Amino acid sequence: MRRVAVFVGLCCSLSAITVSADEKKFTPIDLKGHVNHKLGDPQDDDAEGNQLALPAGEQTIEGVKMEIGERIVQLGCKLIPNRPEKVEGIKVEGRLQKLHFLHATTFGHGEPGSPQREEEGAFLGEYRINYDDKSSESVAIEYGKDVRDWWFHREDEGTSRAKVAWTGDNDLARRFSCRVRLYLTTWTNPKPDQKVVSIDYIGRKAETVAAPFCVAITAEE
């Protein structure tokens, strides 16, 4: 059966100054013109009960205010050839200190030798940050570092660069003794005084079995 995507403590010391999410300025990036899959619907097969049960609307996830829409951006892979390799021109049009990406992959978690298994450290793609001076920066997406399969077993490790930001369940995953989760990648802008025009979400459809998907992006000023 093909599995698909439809789809945490605070420490402080006496000498530390803690800035809450309410005190930071977060701006959700609008993905509406680029989404291609509705949360809660099966995708690319007839699997029932394989939903991402993350409610739509504004939520604070790992201290970051994010706007969760009803649809996500799903890139393709060898196992999902009908999805795009890239989505370009996600509008930003502003200066920012950081970008926060809430994402994961469809496939990647399989037994050794399985066609659904992705290699640790495999380069899955990138978020390309485009500035108004025509320069760009790349935010790499690597399996095991930034994302993993959204399905996981309880004993599975997390990611080395990103945080496990949300964990939940669905009926189909539960039948296989699995749960589901999303990862939060935070990127610090090396050119905060330069206006960011847009973001391109780029995969490697013909070369990977793990298909990246993005649920939300938030800019932090």
Helix (H) or strand (E) holding 123: strand 123-131
Across the strands, what pairs with 212?
Answer: 105
Chain segment 81-113, per-residue pLDDT in tens: 999 999 999 999 999 999 999 999 999 998 888
Report how far residue 205's alpha carbon sits from residue 196's, in angstroms, rounded to the nearest whole number. 26
Report how far residue 48's alpha carbon sits from residue 41's, in angstroms, rounded to the nearest whole number. 8
Best CA proximity match to 121, nearest among 161, 155, 85:
161
Burial class (CB in 10 A: 0-12, 13-18, 19+), 146: buried
Average of per-residue pLDDT across 54-81: 94
Any idea where the domains of the chain sit in the sequence?
Answer: 26-220
Burial class (CB in 10 A: 0-12, 13-18, 19+), 113: exposed
pTM of the prediction? 0.87
Is residue 2 scored above 80 in pLDDT? no
CB of 107 closer than 8 Å to CB of 116: yes
Confidence of residue 17 (pLDDT cuts 50, 70, 90): very low
pLDDT of residue 40: 58
Report how far residue 93's alpha carbon sits from residue 131's, in angstroms, rounded to the nearest whole number. 9
Which tokens hold the place of 53?
């049960």
Q: Which residue has the higher pLDDT, 143 or 39?
A: 143
